[in-house]
């Protein structure tokens, strides 16, 4: 399984690692796996989250037809 660490994902999205911590606490952001204190983001979850947040205007995300 390919996965990203919090630092790697923060770099990919140009966010602070602290932002990702807040998102986890708030129940936002992509799904993740936590084992002990270690958090990883499987690449398939990251890509799915990115696909669900594609916008074509400021009105909101584009909804996929399979929903």
At 49, the pLDDT band (50, 70, 90 cuts) reads: very high
pTM score:
0.81
Residue, of 40 and 62, whose pLDDT is higher: 40
Q: Looking at residue 38, what is its pLDDT?
A: 95
Q: How many CB atoms within 10 Å of residue 62?
A: 13
pLDDT tens-place string over residues 15-30 = 999 999 999 999 999 9
**Residue with token string 């807040």:** 22
Phi, psi (deg, nearest 5) at residue 53:
-120, 30
Phi, psi (deg, nearest 5) at residue 64:
-70, 150
Q: In whole angstroms, what separates CA 51 from the centre of its chain?
A: 10
């Amino acid at each position: 399984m390919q996965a990203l660490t919090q630092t790697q994902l923060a770099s990919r999205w140009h966010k602070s690692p602290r932002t990702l911590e807040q998102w986890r606490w708030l129940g936002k952001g992509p799904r993740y796996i936590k084992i002990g204190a270690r958090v990883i983001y499987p690449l398939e979850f990251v890509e799915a989250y990115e696909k669900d947040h594609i916008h074509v205007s400021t009105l909101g995300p584009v909804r996929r037809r399979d929903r």
